[in-house]
Structure 1
Amino acid sequence: MSTTEARGRNATGPVRSIFAGLMKCQHCDGTVTRVNKGDHVYLVCSAAHAKAGTHPYESVPYDQAVSTFKANLRKTLDTAPRGNDTADIDAEIEQLKVEIDAGEDAVNELLEMAISDKSTTARDRLLQYEQELEAVRDDLRSAVERREMLTGANVEKRLAAVEQALSAEPMNTEEANKALRGAVSKMVMRPQEGRLNIRWHHAEQIQETVFLTSRFDWDANQMEDEKQEQQ
């Protein structure tokens, strides 16, 4: 008998895994969920757990994954990438500002024309220009947010938040997950190699770190879990 604790976009229940919403399967890139099996808790690909048959069933003891991740946290954070060059985004932001200035001038001219001439055509064009201008403003806000995500100070702040949340005693799972979500785009578990790939929000390159300390323990748990699945 097992229960799966998935963390969907609209989930309202308590967070039970520090990896909720982040962990992905190396085979199908599907969601990895926390699964309860009596006294044991595992991380399992949702598709494999549903017996979709798309790839081998692999499970990782949740507590071991957490303890290993915490034990190697300092090294993981020390070697994490520190952000990308923002030159391209800076140029994009400047171009968007130029477009906004031009758009505001055009809107003001059309507004004066619509008022003075009472032109229906001018009003229609004014509405169109205002909508286009707002879209460019949204693009600017998004670009500024992306640049802030990449800047060194913000990267250090997010990494520090991860360390603080996962080093707390006792650790609050929900707070730890929140801190990881703020810094990490996704994690891909590779249990047979005992490795974990991390993609941080602020960098394109993948960081590889330790996921399991004992291959023997994983093999033993994997065999037991597969037996339970077959029953």
Structure 2
Amino acid sequence: MTTAYSYIRFSTPEQSKGDSHRRQQQKAKEYALQHNILLDENLTFRDLGRSAFRGGHAEVGKLGEFILAIDEGLVKPGDYLLIENLDRLSRQAITDAFDLLRAICNRGVNVVTFSDGKIYNRESLNDPINMLTAIILFSRSHEESATKGKRVKEAWDIKRKNIKNKPLTSKVPGWIEYDKAAGKLNLIDDRVKIVRRIFTEYIEGKGQTAISRGLNNDQVPCWGTGEQQAANWYDSYITKILDNEAVIGVFRPHVFDFSTGKKKRVPTGQMIPDYYPSVLDTETFYRVRELRDQRNTMKGRKATQQLQNIFSMVAKCPHCGGKLIRVNKGKRSTYLVCSFAKLGATVEAGHKYCSGGYQSIPLGKIESRFIDAVKSGQFFIPVDGSKISEIQEKIDKNNRDKQDRQTGLSKIVNAILEGSLTNKSVMHYDVPRADGTIKNWTVEDEREILEQGIKGIEIENRNNQSDLEVLRPRIIEKKLLELKHAVSRDVVNYEQANSVLRALCESIVIRRDEKTIIFKFNHTERLLILNW
């Protein structure tokens, strides 16, 4: 008995929620019943959510399998392929669409469009009228799809041009929400903390497995809603967050490419800095990227080594002051480049940019020159007590401020104990607040601001005291000796050497044009310059 097979196709997955699928399936059943043909529902070929305009369904979808089934003898000559309209078969260019129809008919299979009951086969396609009818239908459907595609593309082009004023799409990373009414992108505070935690833990030496395990142990909820919300954090999602430039505000426009027959997102145009609200500074992001590159390439014993760039987080661009980051250009060729230049930001876009442009500085040459200078004693720190005096003055001033605040706080506490004041007593009327409101300033407000000020001074003085200890001559000599040990080993201890440099140096400016390394130290205004 002759058998019929249905081919159901609609353009987008969203259409499966509507009537398209049910309608096509029902009409196939009705046609088979009316013409006394057996409808094989076990071998129904459905390309759910594939667009016939791109032709992907013929190459990789069920229609390709149907042609293969004919060649294998599973579908026999004389059988029927039931479709709603010819545009369901293909909306490609006329020649491609007609070749697909002819390929099926030449294999002896009848193609039926049950919307008009027309049958296409090898014999009918030899009729000029039938051939012309098919060509006209294919032409019309292709033009409709092409026009629709052009309009959609134009709409997206307009959106991209207006991207500074309005977000391009409501699809955003998990730590951001789109306020449609205001047309703004806002950070989700609790998720921002998770992103920062992930980056911090990675820099501290944890891998994706340890990070995801920690989040799961702490019962941190996964992002997403409904079926899109995972039950647990996984390594793959941690990796996506670590690689996502959206954390530093960068947006990369993409388009869909169908050249391979598959739908694939590919970058288009320039990246857009400051599109998203930033979660991290660029230096932290590129520090993690540097660590990821190193961990991915290091094996065995070296896998525990954290850095392969002595100047990490301390080397600066001479043109814009941005951090110089390590990039790997293959074949063990590593360079330092400005983080802002790498972002591709431009002054026209109103972003911080690098006037020097993208310049590659050979990291190997710079490090070799520095290591030779450390070993030979050419790397030294000029003695200058000006920085020490400056920090000591800050400590003394902070101590005086702390004493004044403590005195004020004591007076308030004594007045409360005596009963002349309460926490609700008004000290000043109609005081503007940070949230925009205007309220009376009470004793409780005054106590809180004094206590916070004292705590802030104590923290600042602890930091100043640590800086002071580092700058004392005996400590500096100890640090220089530690640095020499780190670079004199058979395998340079980059982590230790970088730690010493960050303690000693305010910045290291590397100039490619002059071939110089300029060291600016924390404890003195005097510079040390090395040629390379």
Across the two proteins, how many residue pairs are aligned to each other? 204
SS at match of 1:169: coil
Cα distance in 1 between the residues matched to 2:343 and 2:397: 49
* 1:42 has 2:335 as partner: yes
1:140 partner amino acid: N
Cα distance in 2 between the residues matched to 1:60 and 1:129: 50
Cα distance, 1:21 vs. partner?
1.2
Specify the alignment match of 1:218 in structure 2.
none
Cα distance in 2 between the residues matched to 1:162 and 1:105: 46
Cα distance, 1:112 vs. partner?
2.7
RMSD (Å), alpha carbons? 2.8
Cα distance in 1 between the residues matched to 2:515 and 2:342: 20
Cα distance, 1:56 vs. partner?
5.2
Closer, same or farther: CA 97–36 of 1 in aligned 2, 3 Å: closer
Cα distance in 2 between the residues matched to 1:46 and 1:70: 24
* 1:200 has 2:475 as partner: no
Specify the alignment match of 1:8 in structure 2.
283
Matches within 5 A, 1:25-104: 25-39=317-331, 40-49=333-342, 54-55=355-356, 57-73=358-374, 74-78=376-380, 80-85=381-386, 86-104=388-406
Cα distance, 1:22 vs. partner?
1.7
Unmatched tracts of structure 1, length 5 or more: 1-6, 213-231
Cα distance in 2 between the residues matched to 1:158 and 1:67: 20
Specify the alignment match of 1:119 in structure 2.
422
Cα distance in 1 between the residues matched to 2:445 and 2:335: 59
Task: Spell out, residue by residue over 1:172-208, the C-alpha distance to the aligned partner (whole angstroms, 9 max, x if none).
Answer: 2222222222222221112232211111222223211
Further displaced range: 66-75 or 39-48: 39-48
Cα distance, 1:123 vs. partner?
4.4
Cα distance in 1 between the residues matched to 2:470 and 2:366: 28
Q: Please say which structure displays the higher CA radius of gyration.
A: 2
- TM normalised by structure 1 equals 0.73
- TM normalised by structure 2 equals 0.35
Instruction: Check the 8 A contact 1:165/1:179 in 2, yes or no.
Output: no
Query: Greater helix share, 1 or 2?
Result: 1
Task: Spell out, residue by residue over 1:156-180, the C-alpha distance to the aligned partner (whole angstroms, 9 max, x if none).
Answer: 2322222221222211222222222
Cα distance in 1 between the residues matched to 2:493 and 2:324: 20
Cα distance, 1:47 vs. partner?
4.3
Closer, same or farther: CA 139–29 of 1 in aligned 2, 3 Å: closer
2:311 partner amino acid: F
Task: Spell out, residue by residue over 1:108-157, the C-alpha distance to the aligned partner (whole angstroms, 9 max, x if none).
Answer: 33223223316233544433332333333334334433433432222223
Cα distance in 2 between the residues matched to 1:33 and 1:124: 45
SS at match of 1:44: strand
SS at match of 1:199: strand
2:336 partner amino acid: L
* 1:108 has 2:410 as partner: yes
Unmatched tracts of structure 2, length 5 or more: 1-281, 292-305, 347-354, 426-442
1:209 partner amino acid: L
Specify the alignment match of 1:228 in structure 2.
none
1:107 partner amino acid: L
2:402 partner amino acid: I
The percentage of aligned residue pairs carrying the same residue is: 24
Cα distance in 2 between the residues matched to 1:125 and 1:49: 48
2:366 partner amino acid: A
* 1:133 has 2:454 as partner: yes
Specify the alignment match of 2:476 in structure 1.
155
Cα distance, 1:69 vs. partner?
1.3
